[in-house]
Amino acid sequence: MITAKTAKNLPPHPMDSLLRTERIPHIWCPGCGIGTVFSAVIHSVKNSGLDPNNIAMVSGIGCTGRMAGYIRLDSFHTTHGRALPFATGLKLAKPDTKIIVVSGDGDLLAIGGNHFIHAARRNMDLTVICVNNLNYGMTGGQQGPSTPLGAKTTTTVNGSPEEPFNFCYLAAACGATYVARWTAMQVRSLRSSISEALDKRGFSFVEVITPCPSSFGRRNRMGTALEMLKFYHGRSVIRSDIDPRDASMDIDREIVVGKFVDIERPTFMDHYEKVNRLNSPQWRAMHPDQKAR
């Protein structure tokens, strides 16, 4: 087991330049899927060729929120659900910075749901990675907006009486320019989707179905982390480019994975510049060289 003491003696890792190695070991449980997603994000950042000083990570609260504390980028661990509006302000202040928002299912789509639909509607130029572990992990495994109907959590001991959101369908309906879903087992596809999402102008969204063996898996008798990984992978069916409404997310039947949306749409800043260029003589005076996008 790696402890704070032994971590110091580990040989260098190729991704060390993007890690706050002095903060290792991390707080995530053994078998948690966040590590896989974190690793995929770091690989995509490294392979993007972008200057790391021009990339920032913004997170909210929860297990996934802690990612911001381990990545050696400008990183902001904000309040529960508010990563997207914080990132919106940051992006508008620094339009040339690439901003990655990492968020759990509860953070992004329960407490932060309103911000999610509006950030997607505005087409804010942000890359949003959602780690969906089907429950609130940090607080010990409560029901959330992604918890499957009938699933057991500490607040739904008889089974959840609510139907969950389909995040990818929601993102697409709200106007996201890129939408993909993978399970944590499909690492290569996940990395390539995160890379595509990083390249994409506009609101790009990647959902990852991850095991939470300590809470969701334990309460629903899903076995070890590896068994959970295999279970989700086994339920997954790759169907890229289908209508997002058909991209079902049902752990009892099928988890449709793949890339569902990849479109071009003007961003908030594109529109902001356009309306002001058209209607404000002062704006035109300030930006004489600006061309229509």
Partner 1 sequence: MSAKEVKTGIHFINGDEACCEGALAAGCRFFAGYPITPATEVAESMSRRLPEIGGIYIQMEDEIASMAAILGASWGGVKSMTSTSGPGFSLMMENIGLGICTETPCVVCNVQRAGPSTGLPTLVAQGDMMQARWGSHGHYEIIALCPSSPQEMFDFTVRAFNLSEYYRLPVIILADETIGHMTERVVIPPEEEIEIVNRRKPAVSREEYLPYEADADGIAPMANCGDGYRIHVTGLTHDERGYPAMDAKAQEKMVTRLVDKIRNNRDKIITTKNLFLDDAEVVVVSYGISARSSMQAVQDARREGIKAGLIKLDTVWPFPEDLMRGVAAQSKAMIMAEINGGQMVLELERAACGACPVRLVSNYGGAILHPALILGSISKAAKGKL
Q: Is 270 in the site for partner 1 (CB under 8 A)?
A: no
Determine the Cα–Cα distance for residues 267 and 18; give it in Å rounded to an integer: 28
Question: Which residue of 54, 224, 240, 290 would you call a contact of partner 1, by CB under 8 A?
Answer: 54
Instruction: Give the range of 28-36, 201-209, 253-261, 283-291 binding partner 1 by CB under 8 A.
Output: 283-291
Beta strands in the chain (DSSP E): 55-59, 74-77, 98-104, 127-132, 178-183, 204-209, 236-238, 255-262
Cα separation of the two ends of the chain: 53
Question: Which residue of 8, 280, 290, 293 would you call a contact of partner 1, by CB under 8 A?
Answer: 280
Among residue numbers 210 through 269, which ones bind partner 1 (CB under 8 A)? 268
Q: Is 286 in the site for partner 1 (CB under 8 A)?
A: yes
Cβ 135 to partner 1, closest distance in Å?
22
Name residue, tokens 């890690």: 19
Q: If DSSP codes are grouped into helix, strand and coil, which group holds residue 46?
A: helix
**DSSP 8-state class, residue 23:** G
Task: Give which of 134, 195, 146 is closest to 170, Cα–Cα.
Answer: 146
For partner 1, give the closer residue by CB, 230 or 283.
283
Chain-centroid distance, C-alpha 83? 11
For partner 1, give the closer residue by CB, 285 or 292.
285
How many residues of this chain interact with partner 1, rule: CB under 8 A? 45
Give the contacts of 256 (CB within 8 A, at least 6 positions apart): 181, 236, 237, 239, 242, 246, 247, 248, 249
Q: Is 285 in the site for partner 1 (CB under 8 A)?
A: yes
Cβ 285 to partner 1, closest distance in Å?
4
Q: Is 292 in the site for partner 1 (CB under 8 A)?
A: no
For partner 1, give the closer residue by CB, 66 or 259.
66
Backbone angles phi, psi at 261, to 5 degrees: -140, 135
Among residue numbers 113 through 132, which ones bind partner 1 (CB under 8 A)? 114-115, 118
Task: Give which of 226, 191, 221 is closest to 211, Cα–Cα.
Answer: 226
Task: Give which of 10, 31, 40 is closest to 191, Cα–Cα.
Answer: 40
Upstream peptide bond of 12 is cis (omega within 30 degrees of 0): no
Q: If DSSP codes are grouped into helix, strand and coil, which group holds residue 259?
A: strand
For partner 1, give the closer residue by CB, 60 or 213.
60
Question: Which residue of 34, 37, 45, 58 would you call a contact of partner 1, by CB under 8 A?
Answer: 58
For partner 1, give the closer residue by CB, 58 or 206.
58
Among residue numbers 15 through 44, which ones bind partner 1 (CB under 8 A)? 20, 22-23
Q: Is 6 in the site for partner 1 (CB under 8 A)?
A: no
Determine the Cα–Cα distance for residues 290 and 288; give it in Å rounded to an integer: 6
For partner 1, give the closer residue by CB, 119 or 172.
119
Q: Is 272 in the site for partner 1 (CB under 8 A)?
A: yes
Among residue numbers 67 through 106, which ones bind partner 1 (CB under 8 A)? 68-69, 72-79, 82, 84-94, 97
Give residues in contact with partner 1 (CB under 8 A).
20, 22-23, 52-54, 56, 58, 68-69, 72-79, 82, 84-94, 97, 114-115, 118, 268, 272, 276, 280-287
